[in-house]
Amino acid sequence: MVVARSFIIMAVKNLVIVESPGKIQTISKYLGPDFTVMASFGHVRDLPKNKMGIDVKHHFEPSYIIPNDKKKVVSGLAAKIKKDTVVYIATDEDREGEAIGWHLVQALELEGRKDLKRIVFHEITKQAILDAVANPRTIDKHLVDAQQARRILDRLVGYELSPLLWKKIKYGLSAGRVQSVAVRLVVEREREILAFKPEEYWSLVAEFTPEKSKESFEAALQKFKGKPFKLTNEKDTNEVMDALKGATYTVESVEKKEVNRNPAAPFTTSTLQQEASRKLGFSVKKTMMIAQHLYEGVELDTGHEGLITYMRTDSVNLSVTAVTQAKEVITKTYGKDYALATPRLYKGKKGAQEAHEAVRPTDLSRTPEQLTKHLAKDEMKLYELIWKRTLACQMAPAILDQVGVDIVAKDYGFRATGQTVRFPGFMAVYMESHDSEEEEEDGEKILPVLTEGEKPHFKKFDPLQHFTKPPARYTEASLVKKLEAEGIGRPSTYAPTISTVQARGYIQSEKRQLSPTDIGMLVNDFLVEHFPKILDYQFTAHMEEMLDEIEEGSEKWQSEIADFYGPFHDSVEEKMKSIKKEDVITEKTEEMCEMCGSPMMVKFGRFGKFLSCTNFPTCKNAKPMGDEAKKEEIPEAEMKELQKKFADKKCKKCGKEMTIKSGRFGEYLACVDYPTCKTTESILKTIGVKCPECKEGELAERHTKRGGKPFYGCQRFPKCKFAVWEKPTSSEHAMELHEAAEEKSKEKGKGKKKGKEE
């Protein structure tokens, strides 16, 4: 018998609404039983998905709706609110958080209530929470307007450009105001790399020992007759070595100077993303996910505690409390010589929100070692990075002794450099990384004691050939750095921007390097040609400045958007009529179809560029291009082996010979009478692992019919249906993978069953 149960939702005295449920436990602990803390789970209202939702004829008035998946959240919050309930909107303190708070007020019909309070805090600590409750403010409508302007601007661009891309290139494509500019940066860098022509140059390093010791050191050739000198080829290099045979080398000068090196500023969102990428190998998305968790808090011996301050910030400021505590920790851990007499202040970039703080630990006395048992491996890595950077920025400068020695022989000048650390200062804790080898600081290299006039003993030359290198591809870290330098985007947009362009298939990441896909280059070229203003770096940066001005209250968002939308809309309408799809997606070539003799043309398909016969659909011959073509090239030795193996193979349908072809998923057999006879057969590539199920066949790489996802199955299929997703290294490993997959499937089934019962 099923017994019906009813629930009575009691109104509460004080309701605090936060964005994320991860904050509830900690804030509830600090505020006590008189306060109920609930989460909105992000935005509760948004523009509709099935239409633009903006009245372009009436001041761009947005039509917000409560999405179906948020109706339960809104009704749950509303049920807790009565006439005497004090409601605290405690969403995040940035534009997005302010807008979420305003949408909550609208959805819950709280506008005009005297007991409605807006509170903000940049760290989830007891003092910060209590101070926020004691000092509420009202919703900042300028901040809300700035977020609304961004949302409406992005919706207008996306909803107008995307249908144009569908009609003129391919259905399902999309364009974004900031995302498309990020793609342009990656495309332009790729073209620089493709156009780069390497130039040869040589370096000549001589090895010496001082007159009075056997400690060897190196000096590089830099000058000829007192002027900078570069070697461009092997011939010139050999001539220099010949000219210096038997030469006497003399120390011309020894320069020693003391250098103070200061630490990098505490983390902003972008510098945190960059360093986590360089030092830890994290994607920007992963960095922000882990930082969010550290901000919301973890369970410690003392209870649930927030470990870092708010992670979306462009400020390099630290609070008085933070720098005071930093000094205490530095003095206790490293000694008073490592601490500063007065705090070190950093100058932020123009437009940074100075009221906010940099990303820092909420309690610097909470060392990484103390958190080992409470944090997962990657959480510990990121916390330690933030802890060290914050501590280092308030430590004494490093004091270095730098030495430069000039050595001359005949008309040639050699230079040896080195440094010693007299006092490590902040370097005892932290050193900032860089995106390229050229940017990295020289490692510590100690030179032996040398004096002017000394004649060191020559040991040998080390001539090395080099070639100039093209500019490096962007990494996620260097792309964030470039976006910030160009004024494109803000702290909250870097991670979603980079994630979005990869999810859309416009950019791919391999070994942490970003490169454009074929479709990414096509869409970029189309937008640059027809909508240059949208993809102009200065224009995009200007739009960010405009949003900043709206936030400051000096501009009205409707008038700014009106100035942009009119010309943009007219251009989209004109391009919709004037551009022909075939002019965009096809490209003529001089190659002829080997099957019917017609010309071949370049087309775009699901996997990028390919060659297609112009006689389609009568002739369906098609061939891959670029990287895909390289993948499908069969090594000569392998081809000979396959030809020998299938020399007598005949078509099952027409009896004619079968020829070996190569496709996206490997080699296959095709009838020589194509396209009259379209018979094909797969050639399975075994991987040298016996099937653990039937113990007769070998496992071979196969691909799913939908999507072409690779898996490894028995070559005796369908008689033996053993298969695993990951490539096994042995029969035992294959069985382990199979059993693990089955166990996971069972657990998933139990979860679904439990959900239905509940």
Residues acting as catalytic residues: 310
DSSP secondary structure string, 332-353? HHH-GGGB-SS----PPPTT--
Count of beta carbons in the 10 Å neighbourhood of residue 583: 9
Contact predicate 676/595, CB 8 Å = no
Task: Give the largest CA-CA distance in the chain.
Answer: 106
Beta bridge partners of 262: none
Going by C-beta distance under 8 Å and a sequence separation of 6 or more, which residues neighbour residue 356? 93, 122, 310, 313, 314, 315, 317
Contact 201, 467 (CB under 8 A): yes
Neighbouring CB atoms inside 10 A of 404's CB total 15
210, 229, 248, 423, 586 from 254: Cα distances, Å? 13, 21, 18, 22, 65
Is the separation of the CB atoms in 41 and 20 below 8 Å? yes
597 burial class (0-12, 13-18, 19+ CB within 10 angstroms)?
A: exposed
- 277 DSSP assignment: I
583 phi, psi to nearest 5 deg: -75, -20
* 3-state SS class at 395: strand
Distance CA 512, CA 64 (A): 39
Cα torsion 578, 582, 584, 590: sign:
negative
H/E element holding 272?
helix 269-275
Q: Which long-range contacts (CB under 8 A, 24 or more apart) does 4-10 make?
A: 9/76, 9/79, 9/80, 10/80
Q: Could you say which DSSP state residue 425 is in?
A: G
Tokens of 586: 């096809």
**Residue linked to tokens 């080099």:** 466
The residue type of 596 is C
* Helices of type H across 513-655: 518-530, 537-552, 557-578, 581-585, 626-632, 636-645
Task: Identify which of 679, 678, 643, 635 has the alpha carbon closest to the alpha carbon of residue 660.
Answer: 643
Please answer whether residues 670 and 595 qualify as being in contact, where contact means their C-beta atoms are separated by less than 8 angstroms: no
- Please state, as a whole number, how many other Cβ atoms lie within 10 Å of the Cβ of residue 403: 20
User: CA dist 46 to 64, 81, 85, 104, 446, Å?
Assistant: 5, 23, 26, 11, 62
279 token code pair: 């030092």
Question: At which residue do the structure tokens 């900042």 appear?
Answer: 140
Residues with Cβ within 8 Å of 545's Cβ and at least 6 positions away in sequence, in order, are 351, 487
Provide the 3-class DSSP secondary structure of residue 531: coil
DSSP state of 125: S
SS (HEC) of 291-307? HHHHHHCEEECCEEECC
Is the CA virtual torsion 489, 493, 495, 499 positive or negative? negative
Q: Copy the structure tokens of residue 604.
A: 């775009």
Q: How far apart are CA 593 and CA 611, in angstroms?
A: 9
